[in-house]
Amino acid sequence: MARIAREEMKQRLKVYFIMGSVNCKKSPFEVLTEAIDGGITLFQFREKGSGALVGEQKYEFAKQLQAICQKRGIPFIVNDDVELALAIDADGVHIGQDDEDARVVREKIGDKILGVSAHNLAEAQAAAAAGADYIGVGPIYPTKSKADAKQAQGPGMIRLLRDNGIDIPIVGIGGITAENASEVMNAGADGVSVISAIASAPSPLLATKQLVQTVLNNE
From ligand TZP, Mg ion, none, interface partner of 172 (C-beta below 5 to 8 A by class): none
Taking a C-beta distance cutoff of 8 angstroms, is the pair 40, 208 a contact?
Answer: yes
Do the beta carbons of residue 211 and residue 178 sit within 8 Å?
yes
Query: Would the annotation count 46 as a binding residue?
Result: yes
* 197 binds, options ligand TZP, Mg ion, none, Cβ within 5 to 8 A by partner type: ligand TZP
- Beta-carbon contacts of 67 under 8 Å, excluding residues fewer than 6 positions away, are none
Residue 196 touching ligand TZP (CB under 6 A): yes
Which residues neighbour 155 within 8 Å (Cβ) at sequence distance 6 or greater? 140, 172, 183, 184, 186, 187, 189
With contacts defined by CB under 6 A, how many residues of the chain interact with ligand TZP?
Answer: 14
User: Among ligand TZP, Mg ion, none, what binds residue 139 when CB lies within 5 to 8 Å by partner kind?
Assistant: ligand TZP
By CB under 5 A, tell whether 80 contacts Mg ion: yes
- In sequence order, what are the residues at sequence separation of 6 or more whose Cβ sits closer than 8 angstroms to the Cβ of residue 91? 75, 76, 77, 112, 113
96 is a contact residue toward Mg ion (CB under 5 A): yes
Q: Rule CB under 6 A: choose which of 15, 168, 176, 178 binds ligand TZP.
A: 176
Kindly state whether residue 214 participates in binding ligand TZP, applying the rule CB under 6 A.
Answer: no
Q: Let me know the angle formed at the C-alpha of 24 by 192 and 71, rounded to the nearest 5 degrees.
A: 70
- The least distance separating Mg ion from the CB of residue 204, rounded to whole angstroms, comes to 24
- State the minimum distance, in angstroms, from the CB of residue 17 to Mg ion: 17
Q: Which residues bind Mg ion (CB under 5 A)?
A: 80, 96, 99
